[in-house]
Structure formats: C-alpha cells, structure tokens
Structure 1
Amino acid sequence: MKKTRDVIPGPKAMRVIDTMKKHAYDSTFVYSLVVSHGHNCIIEDIDGNKYLDFTSNIGSCPLGYSHPDIVEILAQYSSNGTYKIAGQDFYCQEHADLAENISTILPSGFKTFFINSGAEAVENAIKMAYKKMGPLPGISCTGAFHGRTLGALSFTFSRPVQKYNFPELPSKRIKFCTNDNDPELDAAEKILKENKVAFILTEIIQGEGGYNVASKKFISNLRKFATRYGVPLILDEVQSGIGHTGKWWAFEHYGIKPDIMSTAKALQIGATAFSKKFDPMQRSVLSSTWGGGNRIDMAVGSRVIQVIKRDKLLENATKMGHILKTGLVEMVGKKGVINVRGLGLMVGIEFDSTAHRDKKLVELFKHGLMTLGAGQKSMRIIPPLIITKEQIQEGLDIMHKVLMRT
C-alpha cells in the first residue's frame, strides 16, 4: 500500500474541503479524507493517498470496493435510464428479488418493507408497533442511537448534541446492560408492570453509542418481558446486520427473535422487517416514493446477500474478528486503552478520554488506517467482510505503532 504523504490534506483535497466549508453544512466530518475510488479494502483519495479501511463506510460496504460482482451489477445498469422509480406505486423485478433474497436470512414468517435509510427503517418499525398497540410510550435504552429523524431521534440517547431543542415522542428509558450481573437487568419489567407501552426498542451492539455489547441475560429478559406483557420487541440491526458480527443478525448470537426489526447500510437501502402479525393489513398505512424504487441499490443488495453466502463471508467475519480482537486485547491497560469489546468484525476500543481517542483517530489516518469514533471515548472498527488475515495484521501493526506511543 502506497504510503501517505507528509502533508495531509493534499492540494486537491484541500480545494474540495474549502468548497464544502463555504457552501455546505459542516456536519460530522472526522478527518480530511476526500474519497476518489477504492479497491478491495483500500480507499484512495483524490491526491493519490491510499488508506486501509477499517470502517467499511460505517458498515455500508461489506464487500469492500470494486468487488467484481458489484461492478458487474453497475455495468448492467449503466445504460438503463429507468434506474429509479416510485417503488411503492410501481413494481419492478429488483424489488421482488431483494424481498425474496432477504427472506432467506430473516426469521420464518417475516415480511419486509423497503425504504431509503436506517432512520426510516426505525421510523416504520415504531409506526408498525404504534399501529398495533396505540400511541403509547416506547421503552428504549441509554446510549442508544436509532437515527436522526424526529421519531427515531426520540429514542436515541447517545449524545446531547443530537437531541438538544428537538421535540420528542414519549419514551421510558432503561439502562443498556452489558453485564449479566447488572442490578438493572429487570428495569423493563418494572416499567411494564406499571405502564402501558407500545414497544421495547434496542440495539444488540450499540453503534454510535460506543460498540457496547448487550449482556445475554439482558436481551433474554427483554424478549421474555415483551412476550409476557404482549409488547413487540423491536431490534435495530441497521449497523450490525448482514454479517458484520459473524452471523446475519446480531440477535442470532443470543438465541432470540424480534417481532420487528430495522436494517440498512450493508443492504444498500433501508428495510423494516416484521412478523406477519404486525402487518398493518391496510394499504397506504406505509409508503415511500423511492422505497423499493432504487433499482440499482436493490440489485446490489441482492448480490451482497448472494456473495456473502457463496464466499462464506460469515465464517470469514468470525475468523478475522477473532484475530482482530485478540490483537487489540493485548493493548488493554496500556497507554490509555481501557477496554476492547465486540462480536465478529464489530469491535470497539475504549480510551481513557475523548481527547485521547480523537488524537489517535487522526494519527491512525495519517498512518494510512481509517477508523471512526463512537460514543464518548470509543473507537469503532468494522472492516469489510472480505478482509484478509494479512490486512488485519497490517491494521494491527499500525494500531500498535500509533496507540502504544504517547
């Protein structure tokens, strides 16, 4: 891999960044990467600098970049001018294909509604629950991130900047428990005994919240309480779904099933999947102009599922994740690294402070490794599912070099 230049950003990148700062909202940009193209697990910027990608664009590129199967799909659509249609008003083959493909990896008896994004997937998940249960409060977790649209944002509880001064739907908050001995494991039942609620909503691995991994007893209890009190359990798999944990869905590690779930990112479009008993059974309750109408993205989503099956990438995620986590655990207790946690290729590294984490993010980038922050002081690692042992080791070498110095 080509070494990065001493001066970053380069001149071409700086021109793009200056234009952005002048004309666009300065949102959550982490460092001065201006993407040009990529191959395998490598991204190249417009000045020719190459970076090993340990973000897969926050899980949205599970097959890395320029994968031959994906390039083939894109080539097929290069001359099709009808690549985007009003997908809830008109049918297309790609919609049917993706619905059929995702059904092979969903719990038995589930149906799917496609929309644009992860936030919209959560929005429609809670709408399905409201439709069945009525406009009641929902139970959600501390540290949760479910999206930035106002409904999803009501149940997000990651960072104050994401919520300040925005209106909220009613929510009952419980602790996201990561330890089977946590005294608040039964907090949801205490709420359910005293209140009528519309749903319980949680992630299995908190994404934006810091890659915190739920305790098995906590998730088991939520499933049990939801069933006992007749409340739907909604699981948010927007970031964790489609193989990143070594299984299709993170909840499979826990031996339970949701009633409703959200996914997106690796699927290329948003999807709300649901047990048929939560089907609104009434036309026009749910709709979306482009949901089911992004024909290229749906075709790519179908191929992603097929390639993961064909190339046994769930197994690769499990094996490579073990190597990655083992290499990172060696750093715990040294130079401000206080914890490493995760499942498969979703691994979080917690630092002793936000400032320390942010400093190391930039240093890793300058050494050719892309990572991202999560939560207050954690770093998230989520490489493409195709990553090799050699690439994992290259990334670990860079991390040891950067993280183990002051």
Structure 2
Amino acid sequence: MGILMILKKNIITRKTFDEVMLPIYHPASFIPVKGLGSRIWDQEGRDYIDFASGIAVTALGHCHPDLIKIITKQSCMIWHTSNLFTNEPALRLAKKLVDTTFAERVFFANSGAEANEAAFKLSRYYSIKRFSNKKTKIIAFKQSFHGRTLFTVSVGGQKKYSNNFGPKVPDILHVNFNDLNAVQSVVDKNTCAIVVELIQGEGGVRPANFQFIKGLRDICNKYNALLIFDEVQSGMGRTGKLFAYEHYKIIPDILTTAKALGGGFPISAMLTTNKISELVEIGIHGTTYGGNPLACAIAEKVFDIVNNKNFLQKVIDKGHFFFKILYKINKKLKIFQEIRGKGLLIGAVLKPKYIIKIHDILKEVSKGVVVLSAGNKVIRFAPSLLITKEEIEEGLERFFQLTKEFISR
C-alpha cells in the first residue's frame, strides 16, 4: 500500500499544473509527451495532428533527425560562453543571415520579445544620437503583438496585454493596420520608428497590403524614421519566402525574427544595417544567453534546410493545398466568413454567430488535432513546414468531423 501511495504521488497530470504553476496560462487538458514530425502523443498514447507547431516554432516538425544530430554533436563540444566570448556557430549563422538578407549586422537573443526589445531600444538610441533627444516617437498598429516585456507590450496594440502593469512606456502611438492615412496623420519629425508585422499573427492573421508597406517605407524615408519589420512569426520560411519582406520587395532598416529560427530551441535575432550599427557603442545592450553556441548550431541547421528554393516552393504549394481543403470544408460547415494568410500561416475568420463559441470549438477539435486561435474570432493554422499533404488531409478531416459534430449539437 505504501509503495502504491508513493507511485500515485509521483504521477504528473494536468492537475499538477493547477497545483504548482503560476496561473497565467490555461493549457490543454492533455499533456504531450512525444512528438515526431507533424504528430504528437499524450500520456494516454492518443495521437494528434499538430497544426500549431508550438505557435509556429517547430518549423521542421518534432524531433527532426538532422537537428538531433546537431544538438548531440554541439552538446559534446561547448554549450554556453556568455557575451565575454564569441563562438563559431554564432558567427557562421550571422554570416549566413547577412549573406542572404538586406542586413549587414546581427544581434542574437533568446525570444521574439527580446529581439523586439533590442530593436525598439536601438531605434531610439540611433535617432537620439543621429538627430535629436526628442526623436523618440514610435508608431505601431492596433491589434499588433510584439512580445511581453514592458516595452514590447507598450508597443503592441492590444490593451489586454499591456494594462494593469502601471505606467506604459511613453511616446508610442497606435493607428489602424493597413491604413496609410492614419499613419500620415500622426507621423512627424520626432518619429524615430514605425514597427509593423507583415502578417499580424495574434491580431488575426491579417496580411499587410503592398501599398501600405510601400507607403510606410516612403514615410520613413521622408521623416528620417526607421522601418522595423517584426517577422518573429512570419520569418524563416513560414510564408514561402525565407522572410516575408521578400514578397513585398521593400527593405526595412531593422528586422526581428525568432520562433522558427531554432526549430523549437530558444533563439532570436535582430538584423540591421551598417548605417545604424556604426553609432552603436559597446555595452548599450546585452544578453547573457543570446547567441550561445548550442542555440546557434541548431539554428544554423534549420537555416540551411529552410533556405532552399525547392523547400520554400513546397511551402507555397502546401499552403495552396491547405487553403483548397479549408474552402471545401467551409462549403459544408459554413462557419467561416473569410480564410486568409500566406504560405502555411493561415487564419479562418469565424462568422459572428460562432465567435462566442471559439473556445468551445477549439476544445472540441483538440480531441484529434492541435490548432490555435488568433484573437477572439480567428482559428489559426501554422503547421510544420515539412508537413505532408497526406497529413494535411488527415488533420483537416479530423478538424471537419469534430467541428461538424460540435455545431450539430
């Protein structure tokens, strides 16, 4: 009896979360314990098709064999050095990012929020040094999301993330997304930066239109402001290009990326130009873990796999395939008023009558497939970029059957 009691005490369940974790999340009712490719299994051995990939993070799926080899090899060499040293994996990765993008300089951190924090600080630092200590205004967009630090939630355009923490970082304005007139009405000589997601993720998977992005570039040029692209979610192949700005052929001054960069291992990067970096002085910013050799070795392998024309074309093709099946499903279920996105970042906007049921729908669907929400009315799909068409069909069939069952009750 004593041994049984000990065994029961040591069993980890979903209830354990409620007992020991800070209640800032409300995780699913099951605990994933194994993943392979685009499939995960819970403690009971049930399998799920993963259309979330850890919120667009595990871009190569779970337990990719090449990443296992790299993490094993690098873990036998050196894991961490801090910013007292540089290291070979970081320099190789930085050089590849510079060689394939607009960028000339790279800063590594650990999360999208940290990359954005660095970008916002750098934009103000540069503008103050180059122009005036009054040039600190940042223009951002309603429903945007840039992270959870105090600076990044202040720049993000969603009050639910930024309220209740006391005074926000000042000199930040929010205007409507895809509305160039709104930007022109608030920009002035004291604007230091405009920051925009090329596809708003948490804001509902809303792509920016070309004229809007082109207009932002022109405005920044006119007012000596920096254009910052937040590609934390849209970067690293998610839209069928290495970075989404390539679709627009508009060059930013700063770009941030994270999520898929490490394929599941925490790493982020801020990319910028010599024009900006030449004003930087040693010690103005930093991070202990950022650019550590273990993270950079893994990210370099992810980069090598993703930065391939055939790979990226397959992302586009699978995105079209995903859209096609979703449209067929919607003809039968009639629950979506719009399906939008690019590549394998897809948002299905619920009709008004189903919006209040979104969490119930997601809960029901989670019996067989993992999907996300984006705001309070959009179901978001962000599967592994290596997902097969067979897995897309299987996952969407599960989604269809479970959703059909729910709405027919």
Same fold (TM over 0.5): yes
Provide the rounded CA distance (Å) in 2 between the counterparts of 1:240 and 1:54: 16
Alignment length (residue pairs): 384
8 A contact 2:232–2:257 mirrored in 1: yes
Provide the rounded CA distance (Å) in 1 between the counterparts of 2:387 and 2:28: 23
SS at match of 1:235: strand
Provide the rounded CA distance (Å) in 2 between the counterparts of 1:30 and 1:17: 8
Scaled by the length of structure 2, what TM-score is found?
0.89
8 A contact 1:158–1:208 mirrored in 2: no
Residue in 2 aligned with 1:120?
114
Segment of structure 1 superposing worse, 164-173 or 275-284: 164-173
- Identity in percent: 32
SS at match of 1:77: helix
Give the residue type in structure 2 aligned to 1:242.
M
- Please tell me whether residue 31 in structure 1 is matched to residue 28 in structure 2: yes
Provide the rounded CA distance (Å) in 2 between the counterparts of 1:402 and 1:12: 35
Which runs of no fewer than 5 residues in structure 1 stay unpaired?
A: 1-10, 178-183
8 A contact 2:306–2:312 mirrored in 1: yes
Segment of structure 1 superposing worse, 199-208 or 275-284: 275-284
- Please tell me whether residue 56 in structure 1 is matched to residue 53 in structure 2: yes
Q: 1:296 to 1:176 in 2, by over 3 A?
A: same
8 A contact 1:332–1:339 mirrored in 2: no
Provide the rounded CA distance (Å) in 1 between the counterparts of 2:44 and 2:399: 24
Provide the rounded CA distance (Å) in 2 between the counterparts of 1:400 and 1:71: 34
The match for 2:92 among 82, 94, 97 is 97
Q: 1:288 to 1:98 in 2, by over 3 A?
A: same
Residue in 2 aligned with 1:156?
156
Residue in 1 aligned with 2:307?
309
Matches for 1:188-199 after TM superposition, within 5 Å: 188-193=183-188, 196-199=190-193
Matches for 1:331-350 after TM superposition, within 5 Å: 331-332=329-330, 334-350=333-349
8 A contact 2:148–2:161 mirrored in 1: no
Residue in 2 aligned with 1:8?
none
- Please tell me whether residue 329 in structure 1 is matched to residue 353 in structure 2: no
Provide the rounded CA distance (Å) in 1 between the counterparts of 2:116 and 2:30: 29
Matches for 1:35-184 after TM superposition, within 5 Å: 35-80=32-77, 82-86=78-82, 88-107=83-102, 109-134=103-128, 136-169=136-169, 170-177=171-178, 184=179
Provide the rounded CA distance (Å) in 2 between the counterparts of 1:219 and 1:152: 21
SS at match of 1:281: coil
Give the residue type in structure 2 aligned to 1:235.
F
SS at match of 1:384: coil
- Please tell me whether residue 225 in structure 1 is matched to residue 226 in structure 2: no
The match for 2:257 among 242, 257, 263 is 263
Residue in 2 aligned with 1:300?
298
8 A contact 1:237–1:261 mirrored in 2: yes
Which runs of no fewer than 5 residues in structure 2 stay unpaired?
A: 1-7, 129-134
Q: 1:349 to 1:247 in 2, by over 3 A?
A: same
- Please tell me whether residue 284 in structure 1 is matched to residue 283 in structure 2: yes
Deviation at residue 159 of structure 1 after TM alignment: 5.0
Deviation at residue 125 of structure 1 after TM alignment: 0.5
Cα RMSD between the aligned structures?
2.1
Deviation at residue 38 of structure 1 after TM alignment: 1.0
Provide the rounded CA distance (Å) in 2 between the counterparts of 1:346 and 1:53: 13
SS at match of 1:202: strand
Provide the rounded CA distance (Å) in 1 between the counterparts of 2:27 and 2:159: 16
